[in-house]
A and B are shown apart, each in its own frame.
Chain A
Amino acid sequence: GDSVTQMEGPVTLSEEAFLTINCTYTATGYPSLFWYVQYPGEGLQLLLKATKADDKGSNKGFEATYRKETTSFHLEKGSVQVSDSAVYFCALSEGPGDMRFGAGTRLTVKP
């Protein structure tokens, strides 16, 4: 079945460091791909998404490109801030009722 694998955390970075959180997927069809973020004490919220191969999702300085050839959707940010500290979840969906999440990666950014 469809699944998502993301890099294990926790990840600790200094402010202004470059961030990469790896995400790979397996799917039978052509899923949409997502990154969700969960800030401390809050629910999950959509960070960015891409619906087809080679699409790039971006938001708040974060980017991820849908790579069909490597079945990947890695999350990147060029310069992280303390306020980016959160848990990040990679997810895929092949349609209604089929939202599958990775295990989550906890990011801590230190000043």
Chain B
Amino acid sequence: GAGVSQSPSNKVTEKGKDVELRCDPISGHTALYWYRQSLGQGLEFLIYFQGNSAPDKSGLPSDRFSAERTGGSVSTLTIQRTQQEDSAVYLCASEDRGNTEAFFGQGTRLTVV
């Protein structure tokens, strides 16, 4: 596609439920990032995928968070047993190998009530 697409754009969920957030990167981009942006905070790195390499999961805040990237394209971020502190905007970005410019989606605003 023309840009990075994320869905849903907004998600309200009850505490304790699982949620899945989706990211469609720019076609052909081999690298994909997930970040979390909490109210008034900067971007918190969560996870990074590059091609077929093992992902860098060093930013995932707990084992309730996981992500996968199928076929080197679409990625899903899953949060299990959501907590109120998980409320944030989750941003996805993709990047072409050899070019350090990241292109961002518009994010998914997650609200846990």
Contacts and interface: CB of A to CB of B under 8 A. Distances in A.
A101 B95 contact: no
Interface in A38-53: 42-46, 49
Interface string A20-53: 0000000000001010100000111110010000
Contact of B42 (A32, A49, A95, A104): A104
Contacts of B101: 34, 46, 49
B42 A97 contact: no
Nearest to A42: B106
A interface SS class:
strand
A34 B45 CA distance: 16
A104 B97 CA distance: 26
B110 interface: no
A96 interface: yes
Contact of A97 (B4, B41, B50): B50
Given A43-B104, A44-B91, A96 B42 contact: no
B106 A96 contact: no
A20 to B, nearest CB: 19
Nearest to A104: B42
A36 B93 CA distance: 12
Nearest to B30: A96
A93 B24 CA distance: 23
A102 B31 contact: no
Contacts of A95: 100
A96 B93 CA distance: 12
**Residue of A36, A49, A89, A99 with highest tally of chain B CB at under 10 A:** A99
B48 interface: yes
Given A36-B104, A44-B104, A96-B50, 10 more contacts: A43-B107, A44-B91, A89-B42, A89-B43, A97-B33, A97-B48, A97-B56, A99-B33, A99-B93, A103-B41
Interface of A: 32, 34, 36, 42-46, 49, 89, 93, 95-97, 99-104
Interface of B: 4, 31, 33, 35, 41-43, 45, 48, 50, 56, 91, 93, 95, 97-98, 100-107
